[in-house]
Structure 1
Amino acid sequence: MTTPVGLVWAEASGGVIGADGGMPWHVPEDLAHFKSLTMGEPVVMGRRTWESFPDRFRPLPGRRNIVVTRRSDWSADGAERASSLAEALELARATAPDRVWVIGGGALFREAMAIADRLEVTELDLVVDGDTFAPDRSAWDIADEGAWATSRTGIRYRFLRLTRPA
C-alpha cells in the first residue's frame, strides 16, 4: 500500500495562503496545529516555502524536510533536495511513514491535489492581500469542521479536515 499524502495550509478569505514570501498573519494556534499534524512525518515543500521559514525553524525539527526545486545545485543543512514532487514522495516513502505532508507552496499544492487523500485547512476570518493562493477544494468533502475560535492574536479561525469525494 502506498503511503497516504496529506496537504496542510492556512488560508484567509479569497484563498490567500501567502504574500511576499510569507504568511500575512500570525495565528499561534494554527502553528501548534501544524506541528501536531506533521511531527515525526516527512514534510515536502517548495524551495520558496523553505526560504520563508525563519532560520531558527529550518529545518523543521522532528520531521524529515524534503525540498522540491529545479535548481540542481541547491542544498541546505537539514534538507534533502528533490527535483520533482514524484522524487520527493519517493524519498519520503522510503522510511515507511504513516503519512507524507505537503506543506507548500501554491504550485506544489495544486500538483499534489491529484494524489492527496486528505486536506487539513485552517480557515482564517481575515481579509488580506496576497500573491499565493490555495488550490480549489470545493469538490472535497468536509470530514471534520471545527468550531470558530479566536486566536490570542485576535484572528478568528477554525480547523477543517477534508477528504477526497468517494
Structure 2
Amino acid sequence: MTLTLIAAAAENNALGKDNQMIWHLPDDFKRFKQITTGHYIIMGRKTFESFPRPLPNRTHVIITRQEDYKAEGCIVVNSLNAAIAACPQDEEVFVIGGGEIYKQSIDRADKIELTKVYDTSPEADAFFPDIDPKKWELAEEVFHPKDEKHAYDMAFQTWLRK
C-alpha cells in the first residue's frame, strides 16, 4: 500500500477553522478530486461531517472514538491502524484529514500531496504537521498564481519519503 496524505495548508500550516476550510480554491478541489477518485480515503469523523454528503466514487473510511457511529455506505473504525487495515493493501490510499489524523499518520505515510497556499497565515484550529526535510524530499512543485477564481498564490507539491 502507498499511504498518501493530501491537504491544502497555509504557510503557517493552517488547514481549517470550526470544521470548515478557510479558502475557496477551485483548482485545488479539481486536483483533489482527480487524485482521489476511485480510491479509499481515510478521514476523521469531523472531516466526514463537514461534507454535505459522501464524496462520489470514493470509499470512505471514517475514524471515530464513538462506538455506535454509523455512516451509510462508509467503513467506520476506531483507530488509524484499523483504518489502514480496512483498505486494499495493493493500492494507493489517501488520508484527507483532519489535523489530528494527519498528525497520527505522517510518520506512516509514503507520500504527501500538498497544496501550499501562500500570502496567508489565517487563524485556524486545525493544522498540517511540519514536513521534516530530513525525512521528506520535494519531488515536484507546480506554481499556480492567484487569479479571478483564486484569492491566493499556491503551489501543488508532491513530497516523497526519503
Normalised by the length of structure 1, the TM-score is 0.90
Question: Offset of 1:78 from its aligned partner?
Answer: 2.5
1:144 aligns with 2:137: no
Partner of 1:14: helix, strand, or coil?
coil
Percent identity between the two aligned chains? 34
- Structure 1: segments with no counterpart, 5+ residues: none
* Structure number having the greater strand percentage: 2
Q: Aligned-residue CA RMSD in angstroms? A: 1.2
Quick one: distance in 1 between partners of 2:62 and 2:139?
Answer: 29
Deviation by residue 1:92-120 (Cα, 9 ceiling, x = unmatched): 12xx5520100001111111111111000
Pairing partner for 2:12 from 14, 18, 26: 14
Match of 1:17, as an amino acid?
L
Structure 1 segments of 4+ aligned residues over 4 angstroms from their partners: none
Pairing partner for 2:107 from 100, 105, 114: 114
Quick one: distance in 2 between partners of 1:153 and 1:162?
Answer: 23
1:9-158 matches, cutoff 5 A: 9-53=7-51, 55=52, 58-93=53-88, 96=89, 98-125=91-118, 126-139=120-133, 140-151=136-147, 152-158=149-155
Aligned residues between the structures? 158
Match of 1:145, as an amino acid?
E
Question: Offset of 1:34 from its aligned partner?
Answer: 0.4
Quick one: distance in 1 between partners of 2:150 and 2:159?
Answer: 26
Bigger Cα displacement from structure 2, 151-160 vs 32-41: 151-160
Does structure 2 conserve the Cα–Cα contact (< 8 Å) formed by 1:41 and 1:97?
Answer: no
- Structure 2: segments with no counterpart, 5+ residues: none
Quick one: distance in 2 between partners of 1:131 and 1:154?
Answer: 21
Quick one: distance in 1 between partners of 2:90 and 2:54?
Answer: 18
Match of 1:132, as an amino acid?
A
Match of 1:106, as an amino acid?
G
Partner of 2:100: helix, strand, or coil?
helix
